[in-house]
Amino acid sequence: MPEGLIVKALSGYYYVKDDEALPGEASVQCRARGVFRIKGKSPLVGDRVTYALTENGEGTVTEIHPRSTELIRPQVANVNLAVLVFSVKEPDLSLNLLDKFLVHIEHEGLDALICLTKMDLIDEDDTAAREAVENAKALYTSIGYEVLETSSPQGVGADQLRERLQGEISVFSGQSGVGKSSLLNAMFPKLDLLTSEISLRLGRGRHTTRHVELVELGNGGYIADTPGFSQLDFLELGVEELGSCFREFAELSEGCKFRGCTHLHEPGCKVREALEAGEVAESRYKHYAAFYQEMKDKKRRY
């Protein structure tokens, strides 16, 4: 039986892009077998499935292949890469917000690509802005993240990002007004994303996601196109999980004197020792402590 990828789910139908289909070719409208509802497992956008064609030209999803990841908001399977888009100017780069996004990305188990946009807005004589970007790039690269500098008007970084998205199911997220649509249009003009937002909805937002759709990039890659999120919060993350969402803390914490060390006040804390030795960035530790307090405060209110 044919196999394919669910690229859209809407009103009880699943739209499957057949593995043998050409780029831009229409997907097959399918229903799901009732056995999935009985088992409590419904197909998701991003699922690789086996399906059977019916006499009316539609299809029936008969098997859901194993998933590598499964996000709750948006409800999408097999996403492996989150592209975090942050501008260096207008608005200025916010490392606090970047670290908050990274916490959620780490919690979801996704790879992250930090994409710094609007590099063309930094004047040649603006050494302070250039130094801030270089320091941020050096910091996150040292932690193990991919960092890419881009400029949509100049086309800087477009080829590298296009290549990175090839064959991946990705989500785009980041600050508002940073030029996510402009960046994607520069790479893939046929998308024509003039007003739409492509973003990963993390945390508990105020708006309900109506449906998720995978946008085909034409290079074997897809991007999850979902309604945007309204805010990031930590209600779905346990405070004891926060430390593991800071990559450089995770390995150090294994040497802490106390199991379940919060890295805030306990003696024999390897994270604080590394901080004092300059091996952990002050900004990262400061944001960790602020997020920890924010999580504790939210738990008290709910």
Known binding residue 19? Answer is no
Known binding residue 30? Answer is no
The residue ranges of every structural domain in the chain are 3-66, 76-225, 239-301
Spatial distance between the Cα atoms of 45 and 287, rounded to a whole number of angstroms: 34
- What tens digit of pLDDT does each residue of 199-256 get? 444 443 333 335 678 988 888 899 886 544 434 667 678 899 999 999 999 989 999 9
| Topology at the third CATH level for domain 3-66 | OB fold (Dihydrolipoamide Acetyltransferase, E2P) (2.40.50)
Known binding residue 175? Answer is yes
Known binding residue 208? Answer is no
pLDDT at 302: 52
pLDDT at 197: 43
Known binding residue 269? Answer is yes
* Beta strand pairing call for 70-71 and 169-174: unpaired
Contact 215, 192 (CB under 8 A): no
Q: Tens-digit pLDDT profile for the chain (302 aa)?
A: 899 999 999 988 999 999 999 888 899 999 998 878 767 788 999 999 999 999 888 999 999 999 999 887 778 899 999 999 898 888 888 999 999 999 989 998 899 999 998 888 888 888 988 999 999 999 999 999 999 998 877 778 888 998 999 999 998 887 777 677 777 777 777 766 543 444 444 443 333 335 678 988 888 899 886 544 434 667 678 899 999 999 999 989 999 999 999 999 999 999 999 999 999 999 999 999 999 999 988 766 65
Known binding residue 57? Answer is no
Known binding residue 59? Answer is no
Angle at CA 176, nearest 5°, toward 229 and 164?
90
Known binding residue 7? Answer is no
Known binding residue 89? Answer is no
Known binding residue 174? Answer is yes
28-60: b or e for each residue (b if 16 or more CB lie within 10 Å)?
bbbebbeeeeeeeeebbbbbbbebeeeeeeebb
Handedness of CA 276, 280, 283, 285 (dihedral sign): negative
Contact 235, 300 (CB under 8 A): no
Residue 296 has φ and ψ, to the nearest 5°, of -60, -40
Known binding residue 119? Answer is yes
Known binding residue 151? Answer is no
Q: What is the CATH number of domain 76-225?
A: 3.40.50.300
| Topology at the third CATH level for domain 239-301 | Ribonucleotide Reductase Protein R1; domain 1 (1.10.40)
Spatial distance between the Cα atoms of 107 and 75, rounded to a whole number of angstroms: 16
Known binding residue 137? Answer is no
Domains 3-66 and 76-225 alike in fold:
no
Known binding residue 115? Answer is no
